[in-house]
């Protein structure tokens, strides 16, 4: 994801969908070499085609989900005072979105990820902003509510929760537990999240390259374990006290941005959704 965001951000200002000037901090090894090569205009297309061949649709999906969430977060923070990044990874919205500067921001992830992120950011920009709070969590075993409370989250004020690139790695119970905690947030709170169509887990042959991708993820020790049928999403959320807002495929977001539909081939199963906390 850092490589995808870095590549998009290095495009000319009039052609990129977002700008993440910090993404390159988290690009290492052979990915760093590709990133450096792609900064030369004559090599950009070659690098993008290489990435699209290696993991069909992944680059487009990563860029599409980033721009969609950026836009929704910026809109939400006009009226919501808290931003919670669940499984924040190397997300840099707290440091690059103007709207986040006025919000209380909580970044939750594994302790080793947060430690590496803090070190890279502090080396580049100095001490982290005082409005940003890092909190370690294991979503499969810890209570989201308790971790947030200890980090200083105000349960009486609404929040925008971002759950990007996480649900597909969790157990059904862990997803259910987190949604139950989010449901208890103050009225007016919003959840922005990604999920995968359950069919990619059950019949991966329906999607170009999905079988090889899932095998590669298992080899990495990071298998995908959870998905939802889009046709059942509204009912699934309603049963947990949440109201479905938007539900889009990354292909829809990509095409609306004027990018070639062919570049998302293989990742049509990846989706973006929003949900509100019912009063």
CATH number of the CATH domain containing 84: 3.40.50.150
> Could you give the CA distance from residue 214 to residue 130 in angstroms, rounded to a whole number?
40
Q: Are residues 16 and 151 in the same domain?
A: no
Q: Are residues 138 and 179 in the same domain?
A: yes
- Residues with Cβ within 8 Å of residue 79, at least 6 apart in sequence: 158, 188
Specify the pLDDT at position 41. Answer: 82
Specify the pLDDT at position 241. Answer: 93
Question: How big is the chain by its Cα radius of gyration, in Å?
Answer: 18
- In tens, the pLDDT along 89-104 reads 999 999 999 999 999 9
Q: Are residues 74 and 13 in the same domain?
A: no
Q: Are residues 189 and 268 in the same domain?
A: yes
Q: Are residues 146 and 234 in the same domain?
A: yes
Q: Are residues 163 and 173 in the same domain?
A: yes
Q: Are residues 180 and 164 in the same domain?
A: yes
Q: Write out the residue range of the structural domain in which residue 8 sits.
A: 1-54
Q: Are residues 121 and 186 in the same domain?
A: yes
Q: Are residues 66 and 112 in the same domain?
A: yes
Model confidence at 261, in pLDDT bands (50, 70, 90)?
confident
- Residues with Cβ within 8 Å of residue 44, at least 6 apart in sequence: 7, 11, 38
Specify the pLDDT at position 140. Answer: 76
Closest CA to 208 of 74, 100, 90, 55: 55
Residue 71 has, within 13 A of its CA and on its CB side, a CA count of 12
- Within 10 angstroms of residue 17's Cβ, the number of other Cβ atoms is 19
pTM reported for the whole predicted model: 0.94
Q: Are residues 170 and 216 in the same domain?
A: yes
* pLDDT of 176 over the 90 cut: yes
Model confidence at 21, in pLDDT bands (50, 70, 90)?
very high
Tell me the average pLDDT across 36-42: 87
Q: Where among 54, 70, 88 does a domain terminate? A: 54
Q: Where among 14, 30, 54 does a domain terminate? A: 54
Q: Where among 54, 73, 89 does a domain terminate? A: 54
Domain count, the chain: 2
Model confidence at 278, in pLDDT bands (50, 70, 90)?
confident
Report the Cα 240 to chain-centroid distance in Å: 22
Q: Are residues 80 and 175 in the same domain?
A: yes
Q: Are residues 43 and 162 in the same domain?
A: no
* pLDDT of 226 over the 90 cut: yes
- In tens, the pLDDT along 201-216 reads 999 999 999 999 999 9
> Could you give the CA distance from residue 92 to residue 74 in angstroms, rounded to a whole number?
13
Closest CA to 88 of 74, 105, 102: 105
* Percentage of the chain lying above the pLDDT 70 cut: 100
């Amino acid at each position: 994801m850092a490589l995808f965001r870095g590549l998009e951000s290095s495009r000319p200002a009039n052609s990129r969908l977002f700008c993440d000037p910090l993404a390159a901090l988290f690009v290492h090894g052979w990915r760093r070499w590709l990133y450096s090569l792609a900064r030369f205009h004559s090599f950009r297309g070659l690098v993008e085609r290489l990435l699209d061949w290696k993991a069909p649709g992944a680059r487009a999906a990563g860029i599409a989900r980033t721009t969609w969430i950026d836009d929704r977060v910026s809109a939400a923070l006009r009226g919501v005072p808290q931003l919670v990044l669940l499984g924040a990874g190397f997300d840099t919205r707290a440091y690059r979105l103007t709207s986040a500067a006025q919000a209380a921001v909580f970044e939750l992830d594994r302790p080793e990820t947060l430690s590496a992120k803090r070190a890279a950011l502090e080396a580049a920009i100095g001490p982290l902003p005082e409005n940003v709070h890092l909190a370690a969590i294991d979503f499969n075993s810890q209570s989201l509510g308790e971790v947030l409370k200890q980090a200083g989250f105000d349960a009486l004020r609404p929040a925008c929760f971002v759950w990007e690139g996480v649900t597909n790695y969790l157990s059904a119970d862990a997803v259910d537990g987190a949604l139950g905690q989010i449901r208890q947030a103050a009225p007016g709170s919003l959840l922005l999240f990604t999920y995968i169509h359950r069919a990619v887990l059950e019949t991966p042959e329906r999607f170009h390259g999905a079988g090889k991708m899932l095998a590669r993820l298992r080899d990495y020790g990071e298998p995908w374990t959870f998905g939802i049928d889009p046709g059942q999403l509204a009912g699934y959320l309603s049963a947990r006290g949440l109201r479905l807002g938007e539900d889009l495929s990354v292909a829809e977001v990509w095409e609306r941005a004027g990018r070639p539909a062919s570049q998302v081939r293989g990742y049509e199963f990846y989706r973006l959704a929003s949900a509100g906390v019912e009063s």
